[in-house]
Structure 1
Amino acid sequence: MVFADTWPGKFTHLDRALEPVAVGGTYVVDDLVEQPGWPQGHAEHVVSLLAALERRTDFRTMRLAWAGGLLMAVRTAAVRP
């Protein structure tokens, strides 16, 4: 399991963060629901991240409307087709 709770691995270096996740493993990110005090441009980074993860064919994603917003992605294929 990779829990990306910082910009690297979430908004930058996404492929590197996903690399060690084995088939059946999970990648988790939080802070996906807009909050007061987010820096300018942060919402756009979230939109881009969600789109990038949902386009992948080697992971299945599920968004969770809990706390600041979560996404769980489970690797379903060894290699990205």
Structure 2
Amino acid sequence: MQLLNKGGLYIVDDLLPQKDWPVEHGEEIKDFIDYLDTKIDLSIAKLNWSTGLIIVTKI
């Protein structure tokens, strides 16, 4: 997240399980979300909408 400027947005989609995902991809997504949750300089909105979204901004 070093490349994200203060106030900048980082949007991630396709976070909910999909039929065509490789077996290990679900665990990789979980690890990625866990990583984002450790960052104290980010504000994170997780949206259970469509295929799953996360909107991140650096504070």
Q: Same fold (TM over 0.5)?
A: yes
Query: RCO higher in 1 or 2 (8 Å CA, sep ≥ 6)?
Result: 2
Q: 1:74 aligns to what SS in structure 2?
A: strand
- Out of 40, 55, 64, which is 2:47 matched to? 64
Alignment partner, residue 26 of structure 2: 43
Q: Shift in Å at residue 19 of structure 1?
A: 2.5
Percent identity reads: 31
Higher strand share: 2
TM-score normalised by length of structure 1? 0.68
Consecutive unaligned residues of structure 2, counting only runs of 5 or more, are none
Q: Shift in Å at residue 67 of structure 1?
A: 1.4
Contact 1:63 1:72 in 2 (8 A): yes
Hey, which bits of structure 1, 4+ residues long, moved more than 3 A? none
TM-score normalised by length of structure 2? 0.90
Contact 1:54 1:60 in 2 (8 A): no
Number of aligned residue pairs: 59
CA RMSD of aligned residues (A): 0.9
- Partners of 2:30 and 2:23 in 1: CA distance: 13
The reply to whether residue 29 of structure 1 matches residue 30 of structure 2 is: no
